[in-house]
Homo-oligomer: A and B are copies of this chain.
């Protein structure tokens, strides 16, 4: 049983749509129990930063990996929403003037441009904090043990030893903390940086399905290997987009990496070798899923989609 391109795109669309709905419901004006009120301006900035029609690839990975273990869709979507809140906060903070200083994101002004810096910092903090509230809710899974495992894994993927640490390494590679000159990272250093900055959350997305589905250690390991390959593929495809895309398609400035003298795998390997590497990674991702057989077809398609999203 293989998954047709139409069926895959239909799943992608429905997960994106359901995630958007769920995020909208999580970000209503009315406070929930334990809250004292939700200041309108802050809530508006949090909605602006997260309800933006993103592709929601991370929630898709949660749903597709959860499907391997029969995890009910609503649970995967809720865990996916928590993850997406973290992804969205990271974009808000990364765009800040003190960080990457980006004015545009997905064809719209970035949050600090649409509001102001203070509101953007707080909106990011609010989204990050809400993510853990959501991950801890019974709607994610009836068993507290499962939820608390999810909370811990999410925090470690997003924190100093994961995404936040990766962002610091990225700024360091641009020479932001020393003489202002970009560092010439080698392939291994770039790989380590990207495994933290973008890989950790993508890998968590796959692990989330395994956690929610109480997968065996072997199954969890298989998904970890898949997640690692997909994370690398995602980054190369992102770098290729920066080289080959134009600003209109990207909804943000193109060629930024080269302009910043930023070391990327594509810069080191060259475009053609990078594209070949991308193919290998998609194969490796598929091979990791072998233990699941035909059931993993959606995840195989997801890996292809991630590799090809520039086209």
Contacts and interface: CB of A to CB of B under 8 A. Distances in A.
Interface-central residue, A35, A41, A147, by most chain B CB under 10 Å: A35
Given A93-B121, A128-B125, A129-B128, A165 B38 contact: yes
Contacts of A176: 116, 118
Interface residues of A, number: 65
28 contacts: A31-B161, A32-B161, A34-B156, A36-B161, A36-B200, A37-B165, A37-B196, A41-B172, A46-B160, A93-B122, A96-B121, A118-B171, A118-B176, A121-B121, A125-B128, A126-B159, A126-B160, A128-B128, A129-B164, A130-B160, A132-B154, A133-B151, A133-B156, A133-B159, A135-B151, A136-B151, A144-B147, A144-B148
Interface string A187-198: 000001001100
Which DSSP category, helix, strand, loop or mixed, fits chain A's interface?
A: helix
A98 B123 CA distance: 13
With most chain B CB atoms within 10 A of its CB, the pick from A96, A121, A168 is: A168
A268 to B, nearest CB: 20
A103 B193 CA distance: 31
Interface of A: 31-39, 41-43, 46, 93, 96, 98-99, 116-119, 121-122, 124-126, 128-130, 132-133, 135-137, 143-145, 147-149, 151-162, 164-165, 167-169, 171-172, 176-177, 192, 195-196, 200
